Amino acid sequence: MKLHFTKMTGAGNDFVLVDNRDGRFPFRPEEIARLCDRHFGIGADGMLVAEKDGAEDRIRMRYYNSDGGEASLCGNGARCFARFLQSLLKGKEGDRVSFLTGAGPVDAWFSGEEVSISMPDPGAARLRQLVATRHGPLEVHWIHTGVPHLVVFVQSVEGIDVEELGRELRWLPDFAPEGANADFVELLGSDRIAVRTYERGVEAETLACGTGVTASALVSHLVKGLVSPVSVLVRSGDCLGVRFEPTGDGFRGVRLQGPAIMVFTGEVEVRK
C-alpha cells in the first residue's frame, strides 16, 4: 500500500508527516521506526500523524520518536505540523491554526517561514539537584515542557560529549521510569543561549529540540536571570525564540518560534 508523506524540518529537527484523517494506516512501532530510518527508510527524527479526534472533528497531532515510541509533545514537530495542517486546510484558517496533542491543545501562528506555537505551562521546576555520574556529581535542573528535560549549564557546548553524558543522564535512575531528555546550555548574554540536546526516543543528539529549547530558556530565567524573549542558538546554526511570562510558581504564555520548512513530498510502500 502506498503512503503519501511530506518531509519537513524545523531548525534541523526533521520529520515525516502523514495525513491519516481517514484512519487508513494503523501505524505499528516497527513500521514507524523503518520509515524514520536514515538508511532503509525516508529518514527523520520522528513521525507526525494527523488524525481526526472525537465528535467535534478536531485534528490531533500524534508524535512518534524515530524508535517508534509515542511521546506527548514535540515542540519543533508541532511547529512543522502547524505548517502541514495549514496546507491540508488550504489556508481556510488564515494565519492561525489549532490542534490537539498528548500534552493538550496547541495554537499556532504564521509569519513568513516562521511558525510560533503555544507551549503547555510547565508547572514547578526542580532546580539544583545533584546527581551521580561516572565523572562525579553534577548539578541538573528538571522541568516538564510537554516532556521531561534535564538542563545542565556548561562553560562551552562545544566541549561537551553530548552522546556520552546525554545518554547517561537520559537513563538516570533518579528520573525513572520515563527518563528525561538532556540539554546542555551555554550562556551567551542576558537574553541569548546556545543549546545542544540529547533526545530520548531518538537516543542521540538532534540538530534542534523545541521542548528542549523551551526548557533551557525557562530554566535560564529561573537560575541565571535571563529575560524574555530568549534567543536560542541550536546545533543546526538556526536560532529559535522563546517568550514567556513568569508567575509566582511557574510560567504562563510560553511560546516557541522558529522556521518550519517543507523539504519534499513523496510516496513510500507500507504494509497495512
Contacts of 247 (CB under 8 A, 6+ apart): none
Give me the phi and psi of 229, to 5 degrees please. -80, 150
Residue type, 195: V
- Cell 525513572 appears where? 176
- Cell 561537551 appears where? 160
Whether 36 is catalytic is: no
User: For residue 8, which of 60, 98, 86, 72 has the smallest C-alpha distance?
Assistant: 86
Whether 209 is catalytic is: yes
Q: Give the cell for residue 41.
A: 527508510
Distance (Å, whole) CA 108 – CA 191: 23
Give me the phi and psi of 151, to 5 degrees please. -110, 130
242 burial type by CB count under 10 A (0-12 exposed, 13-18 middle, 19+ buried): buried
Distance (Å, whole) CA 103 – CA 62: 10
- What stretches of 114-270 adopt beta strand conformation (E)? 114-118, 126-133, 136-144, 148-153, 181-189, 192-199, 204-206, 230-233, 239-247, 250-259, 261-269
Q: Considering 36, 80, 209, 239, which one is annotated as catalytic?
A: 209
Q: Are 16 and 35 in contact (CB under 8 A)?
A: yes
Distance (Å, whole) CA 86 – CA 113: 13
- Cell 552522546 appears where? 163
Give binding residues for substrate as ranges.
13, 65, 75-76, 181, 199-200, 210-211
The residues annotated as belonging to the active site are: 74, 209
